[in-house]
Structure formats: C-alpha cells, structure tokens
C-alpha cells in the first residue's frame, strides 16, 4: 500500500526536474571549494597531530595521513559521482537501504557483544566499516523521502509517528552503543520532520517530553552521572584527564597559536589527538584566530547549504539538504562543545577534519547529495 | 520550491545553529584569552623538564699554586632509543668501547622512548672514541670527577668528595661552601613519556664554578715530611707516624702528615700499615702476614669495614687526643716562669724518684740526676724537678696558664671533627694529679693543641689559630675571599717567651734533644716518650717538638711515632727524623743558616 502512493507523487517531480536540468547546468563551486578546503585542512591537521605518535607506534610518521588521504580521495570521487546523479533516484532505494542498515546495525550489535561489547565496526575484507556512519546517510535519504510523501498530512501526529518509525528504530539501535551518534541522528530526523510540518507547538511539546525522559535516563544510569561530575570538575577525576589535556592545549594556544606543527599536547598528552580532540590541537597550533577560521568555514558551509535548501527545486531536495546540514552542524557543535568542556565529554569526531575513514567517506557522499540538489536549482528563472 | 513555512523554518533552524556557533566561539574566546595564562602555565609545567648541569668544583692549590685537588673531565654515555638508526651497530660499538655485557646493553638500547644511561664516569679518551664513531642516538654528556694528582699526599687533610662531588671529609667538607659551585640547568620540553623533544628551544642557565682554594700547605714540604715519616714508620714498624709543621708566628700549616696515608682517588680501598713494612729489612713473615690480612678484609662485615675506613680517614693530629708526656714540660715551665715561682738557676735535687702523698713517682733516670738547676732539669727532662715546679705553681695558677695557652679550647683549625682535651676537673686535682700533669701525664690533648701552645710560648706570647685556608679566587684567578684567623696577643709575657726559647735551645744543643740538631741552625725543642694505656704493655708514643731558628722561630714542628718497635725514646728515634726534615726544608723555605762553623756539631 505504501509502495504505490510514492510513485504517483514521484513522477511529476522527476519530469519537472529533468526539464530544469536542460535549462541550466548550475554547479555550486563555492560549496565544493569549502568542502575541499576543509578536507585538505583536515589532512594537514591529521598529519600534524598524528605524525609523532605514528612514528613511535608504527615507525612511519605518515601512517595515519596516508590512510586518511586514501579515504578522502575515494570520498571526493564518490562525492563528484553522486553530485552528477539525479537525487530523485535515491527514492527508489531508500526503503531497501533502510532494511539493509537495520540488518547491519543488528549484526554489529551481535558481533560486538561477541567480542568485547563496544565494537562499532564490521570487517568487510580488508576494510573496516562503521554502520552508524552509513546509517546517517540512509536516515537522511529515507526520512526526506517519507516526509515528502506525507508532507500534506504530517501535522497529524499519527502520520508523523509513522514517518519517523523506521528512522527512530535506527536511532535506538545506534544509541545502544553510541549515545552521541544516536543523538545526532535523532536531531537529523527531528529537524527534517520539523521543517516539513506546518505545526510548531507539538514539536516543542515533544521536545519537552524528550528532555524529561533524557533527564530520567541520565539520573538512573550512574555511569552517565559520573560523566557529568567529570564535566563539572575535570581536574578532580582521572577520567577527566583527556578533558584537562584538551583545555591545556586550547588555553596554551593564545590568539595566534604556537604555529602549525608546534603543538606539545599532541605528543602523547592528548590520547589519540588526531581523533575527536583534534580541534584542541588546532587551537593550540593556530590559536583563537585559526579556530575562528575553522568555525567560520563551518558557518559558511551551513549557510551555503541553507541557501540551497531554501531554493531547492522541490521539498525532497530541500529535506535532503536540511538533513545533511543538520548532521554536519550538530556534529561540529557537539565536538567543539566537548573539547571546550562546555558539555559532558562524549566521543564525536569533527566533520571533515578528524581521522576516520568511514566518517569522511560518508560525509563526502552527503555533500555529493547536496551538490546534486544544488545542480537542479532553477537559477535562470529565480535569480 | 519548498513551501514558505518550510523555508521560514529552515531559516530559523539555521539561525539557531549559527547562534550556537557564536556561543561556542564565545566560550572558546574565554578559554583562549581570559584563561590562556592559567592553562598555558599548567601545560608548561607538564612539559618542562629541568636537567641540571653540574658546576665545576673549585680547585685546591697549595701555597705556591700547585694543584692538589682538581677536576678530571669524565663523560656519561646514554642512549635515546628513538634517535638510534642502527641498533646492532650501536650495541656492538658500546660493548666494544665500554667493555660491557652485550645482552644488558641491547636491553638498554631497545628500551623505547626513554633516555637510558649506559655508563657514567667514562674516561674522556674513551668517550672521544665513541664520539668519533658518530653513532645516532648515543648521547655523551660532559661531567667532572674530583681528581687528586698526588694520590696519597696530605690525604687526611684534603679529604675527598662523594658521588655528587660533595665534600665528605677533610678540607673538602670544611670548605664546601667555597669549593662548591652553583649548578646550572637546561630546560627542555618533553612529550608525555618524558622523552626530550629535539630542537625545541631550550632555556639554559650556565653553572657557576666553585671558588679555588689556596691552602698553606707546601707540596714539597709535605712530600719531604711524608717521606721522612714513612721511612721511620718502616724502620720502627710503627703503627702510625704523624707530623705537623707550622709557622708559629701566624699558624699557617706547611705540612700535616699521618702515615700511612690513603689514596684519595680510591678512598674506599683499605690501606694496611703492614703493607708499608714490605721491603723493610726486618720483615720476614711478609707473605703469611699479607694473606691473613687479605682474608681478614674479606671476612669483615659492612659495619667493620666502615669502621676500618673511618679509622683510615682519621687525622690523628686533630681528631685524636693523647698523653703528651715530656713535651708538655714546656707548658709547665712556662707557667712557672709566668707566675715567677722559679728562676732558671734555682736548684733542685733528683734521687731518681719523688714521693707525692702515698705515691712514689719515678724519674726516667733510675739512679737520679742528683743536684741540678731548673735549666738542667729541663735539659734532662727530669720528672722530680717538674713535680716540684708544678707544686710551686699550684693547681689554680697551673690551670690559669693552661687556659692562657688554649688547652681548654679547640684550636679552631679549619678542619672538621677536632677533638677536645680531656682534663681533670680543676677541683678534683690533688697533689698526685698535679705532679703527673706537670710532666705531661694523666690528661689528654691533641698534638695540634700542644703545638699551638708551644707556638705561643716561642713566638713572644701570641696564641695563633692553626689553619690551612689562606684565600680563595674565582675562576679567573681573582682573589675574592681572604680568610682571617683570630690571634690572641700577649697570652704570656714576652720575657717568659724569651727565657723559654733559650731553655729549649739548650735542650737541643746540650740536653736530651741533641739528636734534633740541624747543622748550621739554632734549634729549640723538647722530646717526649709517653707510655700508652694500659701501662706496662711496652707501647709508647715517641715524640719530638722542635722549632727553628731558636731565637726567632719561623717554623715549628712536632713528630709522633706511635708504637715503635725496639728503641722507643723520643730523643733517640723522633728527634733525628725532625732533624732530617729540617735539613731539607729550612733551605727550601729560605731560612738562612745561623752559623757555618758546623764541623763539631755534625759529628754527633
């Protein structure tokens, strides 16, 4: 039943967009440039942060750089490929991908429990694969698709719940192992349906209920309360070590920093400084000025995406861009907030910059989606 | 195009996100501007390691600028794993050059991310050999080690230093403040494992070398004295021979000998007196003796070994007291003259003993000296004469004069561990005690206390402070400290001093100290043979105290032969040694001969 109706709505949209494509061949080069710049900057910082420890551990200072570089190159190729596609094609596979990702997440839970309880990876031949990263792409595509279909009646709570049923199942599966990624995914789903729905109050009500549940959840689980204690007084707890080290790095940066490559904190003081804590080393080496530049780039990126979303050819395109933008923005905000000890510590990588193959690959595919939506904007008519 | 409300909502979401970014940026600005110093300092404290640079210890020179204690450059070799490029080669060369066990070295070399010390106190030549090989990751640090070019010379005076170049005994510890330098430091940055980060800007505080110390010892005089003392030690199979040579006018000590001396470069190697007897004519059982000696050393417990070492490092001249015996008659005579209770020509009689209360105190001449003047009494070192003289002075005046001559106080010499005299309580002194004290028995003083008192007696009455330290210079040789010592003028009257000089010259010229004569010089002096406790064991300390020239003394000396075998009279065995030393030393220090007509005197 559900399968029949989408196709009806789908047809006209696709025809219209095909026409547009013939009229203009717009490509958002400024967005592409920002993304490429962030990726390149990320590679520089990964090298800067990892070279010393990589040398000690593996004997090759470029060990992490090479791996990350490989994924970046693959990701950029994939991004360009995706950007050339008509984004409406994804509607056909989104349900399939949803089933696949649920299966993968369940699989990773089983495999993970079999090994040591916190494994978030699946080994695919020589490549490690993190299903939760792929889940973000799937959630964006699926939720955007379903929300577009139900757009007219989404103000009805029953319909709304039906739209978010699958995505929230995925969120739950992710949150079991990784609360912060779950929160990011939930935020993506929430923002997509929020902008689709004409209503406002029910969202605030739901938001209030959610906050209530979260509070109870946190209070009942003692180890999460520990995190809050560590957050409030990181210097008093052994587990606050990483936070303190990040603060030392940030604080010792000053206005212009110590200079690229001059960080001391990356020399083993901050564990895995090329991962989630990379922003603290950026602050130490490039100072407040460098940190402002990075944050500024992300703001421009978000703003550019918002412009694309607002002038997207159809609701589906707009919702894809909104989902991707939410993903990137929330992740950057959480990462910087954790590094500056503004919120309790949790492990979230900085998009495009932190080390992590699946993450950067997934993000670049998402940017490919945004670019493909941007390509179908009717520039000639509107502007 | 999405509907208008959708676009509005997107716009609102975007604004919220950007607001959140701005909020975080504000937080970041607070951390990086307001809290920057706080976190920077904390981080810096975490990163910095201070490595100290040892300061060069001051050199000890003799009065003529001859180095007696210096610094030998040595090196310490360490390995930094992360900088090693050719592990096998490093291990091989370290083993070869430093002569170390391969397995041990390999373990050190392969230890990750730490600076591993391979060997310290490596000779400079050896370290240079390593340096020439130019091995990556092998660090050679310069260091100093205390070095004594004369090995045993004046060992018990100089003392030695410990592992950190700090003084342990002798002048090295007495002048620690002068000799010790101020260490410098290198500030380096390290990673989380404490490994130094190469090429990081280093803060460096240069060390300040210690001051150089010039002491009153004359290396040549010390050598003469040591040779003469060693010779008599061997000849008499004595336990120990001590010599002090001093300028009686100002207290500068030219030589202080305690043979057997020990090797300052190996202060923890026990020296046995018996080893010194080897080669002497009377030695017959040397092999068996040596063996028992070695096994004795091996069987020692740690405590026994430490005690033996402490004994070896002891400076008898100041750390131990003894019964001075007849040399102390100088003090008794001085007291009598000071109090005016005796004149040089007063006559006494000696039947060979004197009954004091219930005690019969013998003279060393069993038959007695018969009738004699006070002058002859001194020349003969006659005990009954001094018993009478002591009785005339009385306890209170005697003690008053002891005090004037510094016998109740430490001499104030600039060496640690000076012993105090052991005297009867003044109120406990009866006739017997007074009598025995008059000829130098029943109390103990240090040899240096006696020498100091005698100096005051012969230098016109000034009580000097015996000392070694003269002045200190900085690294460039500029004089920075001159050490001043207390002098108490007029401790005794000038006239007493003059009389005493004349009397003591007579002792050497015609009396019991005749073997202390030095051809061409006017020598004054007094001999002593003190029997050690317990009495009747046949153990003696034979000594002679002598000064030259007798009318205006420029050098005063005392020699003590501890437990000589065979003849033990001070006049017979100690005086000739002093005479021999003076024969070499007097021309050397430029004291001109008083007369050239020596034909008759040298015959004796």
CATH number at residue B102: 3.90.1310.10
Q: Which of B155, B216, B326, B497 is catalytic?
A: B326
Neighbours of B151 (CB within 10 A): 13
Contact yes or no for B10 and A268 at CB 8 A: no
Which of B:471-500 have CB within 8 Å of A?
none
Number of domains in chain B: 2
Contact yes or no for B6 and A303 at CB 8 A: no
Note the pLDDT of residue B112. 64
Percentages of chain B per state (helix, strand, coil), in multiples of 5: 40, 20, 35
Q: Phi/psi of residue A25, each to 5°?
A: -125, 60
Chain B hits for A306, CB-CB cut-off 8 Å, are: 10-11, 13-14
Residues in chain B: 604
Report the distance separating Cα B66 and Cα B63, nearest Å.
7
- Nearest residue in B to A299, CA atom: B18
Neighbours of A162 (CB within 10 A): 15
pLDDT at A331 over 90: yes
What's the gap in Å between the CA of B198 and the closest CA on chain A? 12
Contact yes or no for B191 and A342 at CB 8 A: no
Note the pLDDT of residue B4. 83
Chain A hits for B43, CB-CB cut-off 8 Å, are: 248-249, 251-252, 264-265
Q: Which domain holds residue B375?
A: 325-603
Note the pLDDT of residue B119. 80
Note the pLDDT of residue B159. 92
Contact yes or no for A318 and B35 at CB 8 A: no
Contact yes or no for A318 and B31 at CB 8 A: no
With respect to residue B44, please indicate whether it lies within any of the assigned structural domains. no
Give CA A257 to chain center in angstroms: 28
Of all residues in chain B, what percent carry a pLDDT higher than 90?
52
Among the partner-chain residues A269, A313, A336, the one whose CB lies closest to the CB of B24 is A336
Query: In the predicted model, what is the mean pLDDT of residues A311-324?
Result: 92
Note the pLDDT of residue B555. 94
User: Domain boundaries in chain A?
Assistant: 25-382
pLDDT tens digit string along A48-69? Answer: 998 888 887 888 888 999 999 9
- Which residue of B4, B6, B80, B200 to mutate against A (max A Cβ within 10 Å)? B6
SS3 (DSSP) at A285: helix
pLDDT higher at A180 or B148: B148
Q: Which residue has the tokens 């002591």?
A: B390
Examine the fold and report which residue of B154, B183, B215 is the final residue of a domain before the chain moves on: B215
Q: Is B542 a known active-site residue? A: no
Note the pLDDT of residue A5. 45
Report the distance separating Cα B520 and Cα B536, nearest Å.
40
Chain A hits for B25, CB-CB cut-off 8 Å, are: 291-292, 295
Residues of chain B below pLDDT 50: 280-291, 598-604
Note the pLDDT of residue A17. 47
Among the partner-chain residues A252, A298, A303, the one whose CB lies closest to the CB of B40 is A252
Longest CA span, chain A = 64
What's the gap in Å between the CA of B197 and the closest CA on chain A? 9
Q: What b/e sequence results for B475-501 when a residue is b if at least 16 CB atoms lie within 10 Å of its CB, and e otherwise?
A: eeeeeebebebeeeeebbeeebbebbb
Q: What is the DSSP letter of A3?
A: T
What's the gap in Å between the CA of A249 and the closest CA on chain B? 7
A304 in Cβ contact with A31 (< 8 Å): yes
With respect to residue B459, please indicate whether it lies within any of the assigned structural domains. yes
Chain B hits for A312, CB-CB cut-off 8 Å, are: 1-2
Q: What is the DSSP letter of A255?
A: T
B154 in Cβ contact with B217 (< 8 Å): yes
With respect to residue B292, please indicate whether it lies within any of the assigned structural domains. no
With respect to residue B371, please indicate whether it lies within any of the assigned structural domains. yes
Enumerate the H helices of A178-221 as residue ranges: 179-196, 201-220
Note the pLDDT of residue A152. 85
Structure tokens at B121: 């106190």
| Helical (H) or strand (E) element with A110 | helix A90-115
Chain A hits for B9, CB-CB cut-off 8 Å, are: 194-195
pLDDT at A376 over 50: yes
Chain B hits for A313, CB-CB cut-off 8 Å, are: 1
Report the distance separating Cα A294 and Cα B24, nearest Å.
12
What's the gap in Å between the CA of A383 and the closest CA on chain B? 13
Report the distance separating Cα B559 and Cα B573, nearest Å.
10
Examine the fold and report which residue of B170, B195, B215 is the final residue of a domain before the chain moves on: B215
Q: ipTM of this model?
A: 0.88
Query: In the predicted model, what is the mean pLDDT of residues A171-175?
Result: 87
- Nearest residue in A to B200, CA atom: A262
Structure tokens at A189: 């789903």
Report the distance separating Cα B129 and Cα B127, nearest Å.
5
Contact yes or no for B2 and A337 at CB 8 A: no
Beta-carbon contacts of A267 under 8 Å, excluding residues fewer than 6 positions away, are: A52, A53, B191, B192, B197
Among the partner-chain residues A195, A254, A312, the one whose CB lies closest to the CB of B13 is A195
Contact yes or no for B31 and A312 at CB 8 A: no
Residue B201 touches partner A, C-beta closer than 8 Å: no
Name B190's bridge partners.
Answer: B196
Note the pLDDT of residue A108. 81
B44 in Cβ contact with A253 (< 8 Å): no
Residues in chain A: 383
pTM assigned to the model: 0.64
Chain A hits for B193, CB-CB cut-off 8 Å, are: 268
With respect to residue B109, please indicate whether it lies within any of the assigned structural domains. yes
Pairing of strands A127-129, B48-53: unpaired
Chains A and B form CB pairs within 8 A to the count of 134
Contact yes or no for B192 and A268 at CB 8 A: yes
Report the distance separating Cα B342 and Cα B500, nearest Å.
12
- Nearest residue in B to A252, CA atom: B40
Q: What is the DSSP letter of B570?
A: I
Contact yes or no for B43 and A251 at CB 8 A: yes
Examine the fold and report which residue of B184, B199, B215 is the final residue of a domain before the chain moves on: B215
- Which residue of A252, A325, A339 to mutate against B (max B Cβ within 10 Å)? A252
pLDDT at A162 over 70: yes
Q: How confident is the model at residue A120 (pLDDT cuts 50, 70, 90)?
A: low
What CATH number corresponds to the domain at position B573?
3.40.710.10
Contact yes or no for A306 and B11 at CB 8 A: yes
SS3 (DSSP) at B269: coil
């Amino acid at each position: 039943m559900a399968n029949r109706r989408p196709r009806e709505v789908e047809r006209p949209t696709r025809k219209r967009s095909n026409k547009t494509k013939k009229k203009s061949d717009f490509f958002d080069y400024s967005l592409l440039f920002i993304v490429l710049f962030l990726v390149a900057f990320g590679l520089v910082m990964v090298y800067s942060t990892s070279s010393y420890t990589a040398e000690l551990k593996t004997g090759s200072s470029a060990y992490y750089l090479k791996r990350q570089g490989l994924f970046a190159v693959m990701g950029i190729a994939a991004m360009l490929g995706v950007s050339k596609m008509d984004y409406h094609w994804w509607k056909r596979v989104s349900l399939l991908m949803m089933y696949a990702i649920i299966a993968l997440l369940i699989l990773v839970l089983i495999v993970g429990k079999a090994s040591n309880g916190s494994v978030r990876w699946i080994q695919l031949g020589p490549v490690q694969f993190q299903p939760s990263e792929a889940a973000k792409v799937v959630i964006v595509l699926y939720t955007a698709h379903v929300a577009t279909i139900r757009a007219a009646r989404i103000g009805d709570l029953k319909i709304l719940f039906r739209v978010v049923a699958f995505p929230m199942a995925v969120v739950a599966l992710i949150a079991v192992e990784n609360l912060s990624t779950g929160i990011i995914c939930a935020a993506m789903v929430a923002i997509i349906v929020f902008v689709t729905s004409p209503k406002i109050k029910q969202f605030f009500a739901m938001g209030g209920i959610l906050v209530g549940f979260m509070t109870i959840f946190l209070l009942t689980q003692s180890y999460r309360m520990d995190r809050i204690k560590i957050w409030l007084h990181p210097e008093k707890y052994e587990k606050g070590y990483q936070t303190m080290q990040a603060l030392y790095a940030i604080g010792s940066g000053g206005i212009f920093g110590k200079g690229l490559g001059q960080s001391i904190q990356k020399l083993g003081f901050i564990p895995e400084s090329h991962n989630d804590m990379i922003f603290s080393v950026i602050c130490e080496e490039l100072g407040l000025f460098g940190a402002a530049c990075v944050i500024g780039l992300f703001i421009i990126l978000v703003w550019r995406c918002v412009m694309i979303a607002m002038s997207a050819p159809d609701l589906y395109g707009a919702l894809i861009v909104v989902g991707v933008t939410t993903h990137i923005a929330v992740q950057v905000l959480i990462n910087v907030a954790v590094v500056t000890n503004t919120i309790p510590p949790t492990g979230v990588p900085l998009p495009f910059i932190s080390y992590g193959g699946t993450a950067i690959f997934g993000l670049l595919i998402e940017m490919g989606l945004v670019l493909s939506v941007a390509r179908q904007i009717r520039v000639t008519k509107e502007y | 195009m999405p509907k208008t409300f959708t676009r509005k909502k997107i716009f609102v979401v975007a604004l919220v996100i950007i607001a959140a970014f701005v909020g975080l940026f504000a937080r970041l600005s607070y951390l990086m501007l307001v809290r920057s110093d706080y976190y920077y300092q904390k981080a810096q404290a975490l990163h910095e390691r201070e490595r100290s640079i040892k300061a060069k210890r001051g050199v000890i020179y003799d009065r003529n600028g001859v180095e007696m204690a210096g610094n030998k450059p040595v090196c310490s070799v360490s390995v930094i794993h992360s900088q090693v490029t050719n592990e096998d080669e490093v291990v091989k060369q370290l083993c070869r050059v430093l002569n170390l066990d391969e397995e041990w070295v390999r373990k050190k070399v392969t230890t990750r991310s730490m600076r591993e010390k391979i060997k310290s106190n490596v000779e400079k030549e050896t370290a240079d050999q390593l340096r020439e090989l130019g091995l990556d990751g092998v660090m050679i640090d310069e260091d100093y080690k205390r070095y004594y070019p004369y090995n045993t010379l004046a060992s018990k005076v100089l003392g030695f230093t410990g592992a950190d170049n700090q003084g342990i005994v002798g002048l090295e510890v007495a002048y620690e403040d002068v000799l010790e330098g101020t260490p410098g430091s290198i500030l380096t940055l390290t990673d989380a494992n404490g490994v130094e980060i190469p090429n990081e800007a280093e803060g460096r505080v240069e060390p300040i070398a210690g001051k150089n110390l010039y002491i009153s010892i004359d290396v040549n005089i010390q050598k003469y004295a040591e040779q003469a003392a060693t010779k008599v030690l061997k000849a008499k199979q004595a336990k120990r021979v001590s010599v002090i040579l001093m300028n009686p006018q100002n207290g500068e000590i030219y030589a202080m000998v305690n043979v057997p001396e020990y090797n300052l470069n190996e202060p923890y190697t026990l020296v046995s007196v018996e080893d010194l007897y080897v080669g002497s004519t009377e030695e017959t059982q040397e092999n068996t003796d040596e063996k028992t000696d070695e096994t004795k050393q091996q069987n020692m417990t740690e405590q026994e070994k430490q005690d033996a070492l402490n004994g070896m490092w002891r400076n008898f001249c100041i750390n131990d007291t003894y019964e001075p015996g007849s040399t102390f008659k100088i003090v008794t005579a001085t007291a009598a003259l000071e109090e005016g209770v005796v004149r040089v020509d007063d006559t006494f009689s000696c039947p060979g003993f004197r009954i004091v209360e219930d005690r019969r105190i013998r003279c060393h001449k069993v038959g007695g000296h018969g009738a004699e003047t006070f002058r002859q009494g001194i020349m003969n070192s006659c005990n009954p004469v001094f018993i009478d003289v002591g009785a005339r002075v009385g306890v209170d005046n005697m003690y008053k004069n002891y005090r004037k001559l510094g016998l109740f106080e430490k001499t104030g010499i600039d060496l640690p561990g000076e012993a105090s005299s052991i005297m009867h309580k003044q109120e406990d002194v009866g006739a017997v005690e007074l009598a025995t004290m008059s000829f130098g028995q029943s109390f103990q003083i240090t040899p240096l206390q006696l020498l100091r008192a005698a100096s005051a007696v012969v230098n016109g009455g000034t009580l000097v402070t015996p000392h070694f330290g003269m002045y200190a210079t900085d690294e460039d040789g500029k004089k920075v400290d001159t050490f001043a010592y207390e002098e108490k003028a007029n401790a005794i009257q000038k006239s007493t001093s003059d009389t005493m000089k004349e009397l003591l010259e007579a002792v050497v010229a015609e009396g019991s100290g005749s073997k202390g004569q030095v051809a061409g010089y006017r020598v004054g002096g007094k001999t002593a043979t003190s029997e050690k406790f317990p009495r009747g064991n046949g153990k003696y300390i034979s000594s002679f105290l002598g000064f030259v020239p007798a009318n205006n003394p420029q050098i005063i000396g005392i020699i003590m032969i501890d437990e000589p075998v065979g003849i033990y009279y001070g006049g017979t065995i100690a005086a000739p040694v002093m005479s021999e030393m003076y024969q070499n030393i007097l021309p050397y220090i430029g004291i001109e001969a008083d007369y050239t007509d020596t034909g008759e005197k040298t015959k004796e």
